[in-house]
Amino acid sequence: MRRLSIALLLSSANDEVTLQSVPEEDLDENLRAMTGPEREAYVSQQMQTRSVLEVEMADLVRQRNDYLAETTSETQGNSFDRSVKDLLITQWQ
């Protein structure tokens, strides 16, 4: 049932599903134990947390890509992969 909560967060972020439209029996146990306003607050807080984490993840991905681009450009001329590629191109021609 944990997947439903994640699906609910994802779909409610896109305004596809509202919390009120999900049958009570389809909710996670922790959501079933909450009142309506508590559920709304919990889902809202989870969506905010998710948004913050998505921003952090995007920044980390950018940093990783920058690092890979930097280290690849420094070693590209003398890397083993580059040497093998050049050899194969030469042999193929």
- Higher pLDDT, residue 67 or 1: 67
Q: What is the pLDDT of residue 61?
A: 96
Residue 79 has pLDDT above 80, yes or no: no
Q: What is the pLDDT of residue 1?
A: 43
Domain boundaries, the chain: 2-92
Q: How much is the pTM? A: 0.60
Average pLDDT over residues 15-36: 81
pLDDT tens digits, residue range 27-40? 888 888 889 899 88
Closest CA to 6 of 66, 56, 46, 41: 46
